[in-house]
Amino acid sequence: DALGAIARCKQLVVVGDERQLPPTRFFSRMTTESEVDEEDDDSYVAGAGDVESILSLCIAKGMPQLMLRWHYRSRHQSLIAVSNQQFYNSGLFIVPSPYTARAGMGLRFHHIPEGRFDSGATRINRIEAQTIARAIMAHALQTPQLSLGVAAFSLQQKIAIQDELELLRRQQPEAESFFVAHPNEPFFIKNLENVQGDERDVIFISVAYARNASGQLPMRFGSVSLDGGERRLNVLISRAKLRCEVFSSITAEDIDLERGKGKGVAALKVFLSYAQTGRLSLAGPDASAQHSPLEQQVLQALTARGLTVHPNIGIAGLFIDLAVVDAE
């Protein structure tokens, strides 16, 4: 489609992100069955010989590149910290947020240890789906002014969440006004294949994959385990503007990188660890970073006044030297 325009133009600027998903192979899905991975639910693997996008062609031609470094979407640095470290070589400029987790912003982790993944027939985590459906209803009733999107790791889990939500919506019709609000950013439930391009104030993520009924945890995480799965994960974890809540029946410690291969699985382990602990190795300033004499004097003077001061606020590119905590 673009070739006609490219052939006629004097200059060409191609904007894209190699770290996110290439254009969908919708038509090749319809015309070939050979790309379906027997073991997994909704995984389609592109043929290695195909060039995936115009962006890839331009890079292969050696055209000059420039990285756009300002990150605008996330209004809290924790929402983009993992993507910045794992996929962008910590090259993004991220404006530090004045809000803490108590203000309802940033990345949150909800561990659901009783969740089980039915690795046989249904391929869903029913308990996790029910937990998320309840969280959606709570959001609709308590913070309806914020737009919401839900992303699941698999198509089956997405459908399970929809089913559980339908049951709750029938019982609580007073929440219906939320589901028709936000005309520009309507509520959605999607699987990670379809969430690129979306952004919402709040995003819920359903990992779904967990131990099965016999307590075994196969190190397979749907399309995240495939070649290029890290790009799907990057799309998924960078959709939220204010808050991202991760619902998972497993923790980072459960993921064994000896058994679960691939960049996507390794990045998932980092993401779950960061969501749970708030600590991201390599990212952030050195705690022992040298302050200038002026900074040290200002810090001492403010502390002497009884104020709580945090040094070096931020995670990448931009840091605020000193920030005074608001007692309220």
List the single range of 88-92, 164-168, 182-186, 243-247 with lowest mean pLDDT: 88-92
pLDDT over 70 percentage in the chain: 88
Under a CB-based contact definition with an 8 Å cutoff, are residues 201 and 147 in contact? yes
Q: Is the pLDDT of residue 287 over 50?
A: no
Helices (H) then strands (E): counts for the chain: 10, 7
- Mean confidence (pLDDT) of the chain: 85
Q: Is the pLDDT of residue 191 over 80?
A: yes
DSSP for residue 142: H
Q: Is the pLDDT of residue 217 over 60?
A: yes
Q: Is the pLDDT of residue 148 over 80?
A: yes
pTM: 0.79
pLDDT, tens digit, 9 for 90 and up, residues 7-30? 999 999 999 888 888 766 544 454
Most confident stretch, 80-84, 94-98, 169-173: 169-173
**Sole residue written with tokens 């502390």:** 303
Please report the pLDDT score of residue 27 as a whole number.
43
Please report the pLDDT score of residue 47 as a whole number.
37
Please report the pLDDT score of residue 101 as a whole number.
66
State mean pLDDT over 83-90.
89
Cα pseudo-dihedral 75, 81, 85, 90, rounded to 10 = 40
Please report the pLDDT score of residue 235 as a whole number.
93
Closest CA to 95 of 112, 109, 78: 78
Q: Is the pLDDT of residue 281 over 80?
A: no
Q: Is the pLDDT of residue 220 over 70?
A: yes
Pick the more confident residue, 143 or 48. Answer: 143
Q: Which residues pair with 287 in a beta bridge?
A: none
Which amino acid is present at 62?
A: G
Closest CA to 199 of 163, 171, 240, 228: 240
Which amino acid is present at 107?
A: L
Q: Quote the radius of gyration of the chain (alpha carbons, Å).
A: 22
List the single range of 57-61, 153-157, 249-253 with lowest mean pLDDT: 57-61
Please report the pLDDT score of residue 76 as a whole number.
87
Q: pLDDT confidence of 290, banded at 50, 70, 90?
A: low
Please report the pLDDT score of residue 315 as a whole number.
73
Please report the pLDDT score of residue 136 as a whole number.
97
Q: pLDDT confidence of 289, banded at 50, 70, 90?
A: low
Q: pLDDT confidence of 262, banded at 50, 70, 90?
A: confident
Q: How many CA atoms lie within 13 A of 260 on its CB side?
A: 24
- Burial (CB < 10 A; 0-12, 13-18, 19+), residue 7, is exposed
**What DSSP letter does each residue of 168-206 carry, written as one string?**
HHHH-GGGHHHHT--TTS--EEEEGGG-TT--EEEEEEE
Q: What angle do CA 41, 45, 272 make, to 5 degrees?
A: 60
